Structures are given as C-alpha cells and as structure tokens.
C-alpha cells in the first residue's frame, strides 16, 4: 500500500501490535501468520454485495455454489435444519450429478462448530474435532441421502471447545478462485445479514486459513491443482440483481478491482480471562482482527459507522469513547435484545446495559468538555445509536434482528466478517474479518445500508 495514510496510521502500527503480541498469539490456533504478518496484506476484486436474510443471501449464491467444478469449501459457525440448509442440500445434489456425469468426483468440505447445546456439551475436546461418518449425515445433520451424493468426495467436520470457544467464522470458497464472506450461518434465523463475493489473491488467504485449522491431514498434505479456466463469471453475474427501491433483499453489483485488502484471522482462546465487576477489564488477545479494529478507530479523522449484533466488549467500548473524545462522530447500529442468555453467560452483562453506560459516559464527557481549539481540544464527536427493529407490515420474511458485522471508517475503508463487538468474539471465539481499502465500496455499502435500514431502527441517542 505504499506510503498511503493507511500504511502510516494503521498498517505499520498494526504490524507492530502483532509483533508485540507474539508471545500471546503463538499459543493460539491457527497462528500460521505469525512468521510473516505481512502475508495478511493482499488484494481482492469485489463482485457483489448482498443485504437481506440468510435465506435470501444463500438463494442469490446458489448459482455460484452449483458452479463448482472441482471443490467447494463451506465453513459456518452454526448448522441447523432450515430453508438455508435446504439450499445447501440442493447445491450438493446438483454438484453430485455433475460429478457423476463426468465420472470425476467434486470435493466438498463442510465445517461448522455448533448445531445444538447438546452437541456442544458432548463434543470432543480436541482441535482434531469430530469427523462425521457418512452414514450419520442424514439423521444427524439433515443432509441428503447418500445415494444422492455419490458424485462427491465429501467430508463434514465440527470443532468446539468448552467453555466458550466456538469457531465463529463463515466463508465459502469455490474452486479456490471465488470466495464469499457472509455474516449469516447455515441456519433458520430471519436476521438482517450481509455478504460479499470476492476473487483475486485474497482467496488464497481463505484457503490457507481453512487448511491450517479445519483441514484433515490428508487434505493438508495433498497439493490440489485446479483447472485454469474460471467458469464462474456467469454465476457471479447472476448474484448481482437489483431489488425494487427500499425492499430487501438488496443485491448490488460491485466492480472494484485490485483493492488493497487485509485478511484478519482471530484465533480462539479457551481462557475467558474474566474479571470481577470492580476490577479493570483484562487486555484482549492481540489477534490480527482485534488489534486492527483498535488501530482503525485510532486512525479515524471524521466519522465511524459500526453495525454489530451485540456490543459488550470492554476494549471496544473504551475505544469508542476515546474516539469520540477526539472529536470523531460515531454512528452505532446494534440489537437491543439479541441472545440475552448468551450475553449474560459470556460477558456478565447485556448490550442494552452497555449502551446505557456508554451514553451516560458520553453525556458526561460532552458536558464537561467545552471545545478549546487553541489548546487542541475539540468538542467530542457526535454519537448516534440505533437499535435494529423489524419494519412493520413487511411480511413473514422480515428480518427480526441485525446480525451484520460491519465497520466503516471515514467512508474510506470497511471491515466485514464474523467478529461481533461482544466479549465472546474478542476473548474466546475464533473469528475472521477482512478489511477493504476502497472508498467507492465504502460509500456504496453505507448507502445501501441506509436504504436497507430505512424504517428498521429505533433511535436511542
């Protein structure tokens, strides 16, 4: 990225953060990036942006999944019987027919972490995870009958570690040429979600992440050579269909090439490192994603947009308040009552409580900080907070909660992925984010979100 502002204000300090945190990161998995953190700096081509529910996103992605010629990798956190999962089944049956017709099996790797509370409690406590025998696929995971999958070389694997180490990333790789970064699981929830489709060098970063953590040893050892022809142009184009103004889903074509891109893995940690209520919060694991988010807020010069399902991570809340103190405007969209029990267990608090405290601290800061431009102390930035709510009269498929994870800084770069700004994502869960340095995409995403959220928020501040 040369000598750009991002290189000076974010990338070099961020690389320094990773170096300083080496001792804590080296015990994490995966940690393959530690020997060369700069390998996470890459480029990508953005093809499409999708906003809607998980079902609508997978519906739009179905042609791409079915276009696989050699391999389909699907990684998700939660796997559940649902309309979304039925779409995956449809893709698997189509790929199997393709494999049979040409007498060459298509390789499919499905990876997930959670399917039920019972599954997590009884899950093997090893990073080797659990590989599901084919005869259990239909009864346990609601996959198609084996007779309908004869054209596939398929493996299904799960990894989960007690107490809270859920593997939370969600991504898809088709023929090691196209990657999809969705916020949604393969599950039943009608939540507001987003996804982008990508090609270019960044795809190899997704493959490396899968290989180093999820792949079985035989997959890691095998050198896979795929055909040189892409064969996905048509399926990428089909995912880019505009919806009527103001309605969901929104599928926007994007034609951004050679975007400076940062791949941001965030390894899991078994120790939640809890503190008592009167104690200072512990320092978060210095993962690439955690440290990049903090550096991004430090680099902000005008405004930050944050959309997160929950907001309970003390380091994120502290960084938000510090950013406001510098005179930077912040707009937060979150959920008031999403997964309350999980928040209480993993964070000891809830988003609504944290929002109330943030507003109180901000109001104190604002009232006690008159601007003193001569002394270099600007008035604190403006804070806006909205809770996502379903739009009235929009039908059965109206999203009930917001599950998108998105940060947009100065309308110049975007962070998307699986990482919430909650304590679980920051301290225990495995996460994956990607940062895109493209102001046109940042502005387009912000505009599409404004359209999508029209009539779907309750203003708090």
Q: Residue 124 pLDDT more than 90?
A: yes
Mean pLDDT value across residues 6-28: 90
Cα–Cα distance for residue pair 357/458, rounded to 1 Å: 18
Closest Cα partner for 104 from 143, 68, 152, 64? 152
**Percentage of the chain modeled with pLDDT above 90:** 82
Mean pLDDT value across residues 103-128: 95
Mean pLDDT value across residues 173-194: 97
> Do strands 106-112 and 152-158 pair parallel, antiparallel, or not at all (unpaired)?
parallel
Structure tokens at 204: 């190899």
Mean pLDDT value across residues 429-455: 97
Structure tokens at 336: 């008031």
Please tell me the pTM assigned to this model: 0.95
Q: Residue 77 pLDDT more than 50?
A: yes
Residue 346 burial (10 A CB sphere; 0-12, 13-18, 19+): buried
Helix (H) or strand (E) holding 442: helix 439-453
- Options 3.30.590.20, 3.30.870.10, 3.40.50.20, 3.40.50.10140; CATH of 258-459: 3.30.870.10
DSSP secondary structure of 355-423: HHHHHHHHHHHHHT---BGGGTBPPPPPEEEEEE-PPTT--TT---EE---EEEETTTEEEEES--BSH
Answer yes or no: CATH 3.30.870.10 is held by domain 45-256.
yes
Q: What is the mean pLDDT of the chain?
A: 92
Closest Cα partner for 201 from 235, 174, 237, 176? 176
Listed by start position, the domains of the chain span 45-256, 258-459
Q: Residue 438 pLDDT more than 90?
A: yes
Mean pLDDT value across residues 109-134: 95
The secondary structure of residue 123, as a DSSP letter, is S
Same fold, 45-256 and 258-459: yes
């Amino acid at each position: 990225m040369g000598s750009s502002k991002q290189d000076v204000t974010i990338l070099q300090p961020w690389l320094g953060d990773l170096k300083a945190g080496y001792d804590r990161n080296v015990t994490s998995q995966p940690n393959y990036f530690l020997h060369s953190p700069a390998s996470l700096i890459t480029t990508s081509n953005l093809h499409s942006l999708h906003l809607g529910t998980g079902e609508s996103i997978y519906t739009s992605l179905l042609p791409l999944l079915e276009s696989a010629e050699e391999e389909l990798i699907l990684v998700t956190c939660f796997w559940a019987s649902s309309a979304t999962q039925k779409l995956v089944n449809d893709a698997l049956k189509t790929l199997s027919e393709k494999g049979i017709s040409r007498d060459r099996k298509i390789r499919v790797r499905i990876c997930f972490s959670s399917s039920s509370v019972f599954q997590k409690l009884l899950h093997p406590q090893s990073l080797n995870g659990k590989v599901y025998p084919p005869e259990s696929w239909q009864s346990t995971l609601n996959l198609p009958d084996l007779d309908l999958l004869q054209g596939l070389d398929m493996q299904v694997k799960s990894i989960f570690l007690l107490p809270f180490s859920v593997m939370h990333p969600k991504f898809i790789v088709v023929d090691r040429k196209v990657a999809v970064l969705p916020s949604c699981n393969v599950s039943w929830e009608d939540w507001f979600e987003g996804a982008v489709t990508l090609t270019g060098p960044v795809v190899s970063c997704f493959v490396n992440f899968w290989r180093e953590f999820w792949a079985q040893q035989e997959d890691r050892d095998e050198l896979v050579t795929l055909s040189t022809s892409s064969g996905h142009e048509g399926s990428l184009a089909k995912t880019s269909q505009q919806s009527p103004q103001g309605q969901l889903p929104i599928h926007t074509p994007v034609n951004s090439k050679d975007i400076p891109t940062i791949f941001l893995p965030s390894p899991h940690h078994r120790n939640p490192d809890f503190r008592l209520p009167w104690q200072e919060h512990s320092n978060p694991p210095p993962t690439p994603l955690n440290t990049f988010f903090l550096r991004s807020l430090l680099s902000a010069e005008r405004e930050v947009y944050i959309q997160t399902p929950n907001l309970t991570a003390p380091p994120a809340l502290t960084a938000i308040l510090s950013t406001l103190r510098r005179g930077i405007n912040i707009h937060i969209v979150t959920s008031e009552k999403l997964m309350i029990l999980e928040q209480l267990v993993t964070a000891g608090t809830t988003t609504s409580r944290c929002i109330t405290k943030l507003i109180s601290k901000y109001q104190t800061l604002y009232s006690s900080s008159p601007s003193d431009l001569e002394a270099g102390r600007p008035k604190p930035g403006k804070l806006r907070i909205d809770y996502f709510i379903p739009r009235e009269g929009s039908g059965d498929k109206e999203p009930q909660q917001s599950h998108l994870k998105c940060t947009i800084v100065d309308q110049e770069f975007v962070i998307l992925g699986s990482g919430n700004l909650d304590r679980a994502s920051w301290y225990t869960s495995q996460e994956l984010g990607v940062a895109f340095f493209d102001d046109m995409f940042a502005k387009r995403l912000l505009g599409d979100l404004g359209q999508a959220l029209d009539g779907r928020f309750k203003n708090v501040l």
